């Protein structure tokens, strides 16, 4: 683009997001094509790129495997120095031979924006570690479950009366 320092170019484009895989599960962007705004601004020493869009990922809850979704708002920036001998910190990995790879940049930003856990609801109880039932639908506890032998010494301490 032939921009002078301080000038910018804005463009809205239709961005295709492929499904992402987290923890062996697939999370798909819904819809898979979304409008995104790309802004290119010329600085004195290079170009500043901005990418902004909102998407929703759908997939299984990370605790109980029920359907879950999360909405992500992305607003990312990259800088590409015009000096070809500039340090790597001043170069964007998404600019290759003068072309901006918006698809790869969008995928990486979405991957980094995903919360630690995608849950069907904030208070999801998950699955029972003994029988595998959904604790949201059937809350229960197992009586007299076997104590993990690694915790047996601590269990003995709990059984002793406390000295006062």
pLDDT tens for each residue of 6-59: 777 889 999 999 999 988 899 999 998 999 999 998 888 888 899 999 999 999
94, 86, 115: which is closest to 38 by C-alpha?
A: 94
Which of 19-33, 51-65, 93-107, 123-137 shows the lowest mean pLDDT across its residues?
93-107
Q: Is 149 helix (H, G, I), strand (E, B) or coil?
A: helix
For the stretch 76-100, what's the b/e string if a residue is b when 16 or more beta carbons lie within 10 angstroms of its beta carbon? bebbbbeeeeeeeeebbebbeeeeb
Domain range list for the chain: 8-113
* 4, pLDDT greater than 80: no
pLDDT of residue 13: 94
Half-sphere exposure of 82 (CA within 13 A, CB side): 13
Q: Percentage of the chain surpassing pLDDT 70?
A: 92
- CA dihedral over 24, 30, 34, 38, signed as positive or negative: negative
Q: What is the pTM of this model?
A: 0.75
pLDDT of residue 164: 56
pLDDT of residue 145: 61
* 162, pLDDT greater than 70: no
């Amino acid at each position: 683009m032939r921009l002078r320092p301080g000038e910018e170019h804005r463009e809205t484009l239709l961005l295709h997001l492929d499904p992402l895989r987290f923890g062996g599960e697939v999370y798909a962007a819904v819809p898979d094509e979304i409008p995104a705004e790309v802004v290119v601004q010329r600085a004195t020493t290079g170009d500043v790129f901005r990418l902004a869009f909102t998407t929703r990922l759908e997939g299984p809850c990370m605790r109980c495997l029920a359907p879950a979704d999360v909405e992500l708002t992305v607003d990312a920036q990259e800088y590409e120095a015009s000096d070809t001998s500039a340090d790597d910190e001043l170069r964007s990995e998404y600019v290759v031979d003068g072309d901006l790879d918006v698809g790869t940049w969008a995928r990486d930003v979405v991957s980094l924006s995903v919360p630690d856990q995608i849950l069907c609801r904030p208070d999801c109880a998950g699955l029972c570690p003994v029988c595998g039932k959904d604790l949201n639908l059937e809350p229960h506890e197992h009586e007299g479950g076997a104590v993990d032998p690694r915790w047996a010494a601590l269990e003995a301490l709990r059984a002793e009366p406390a000295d006062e």
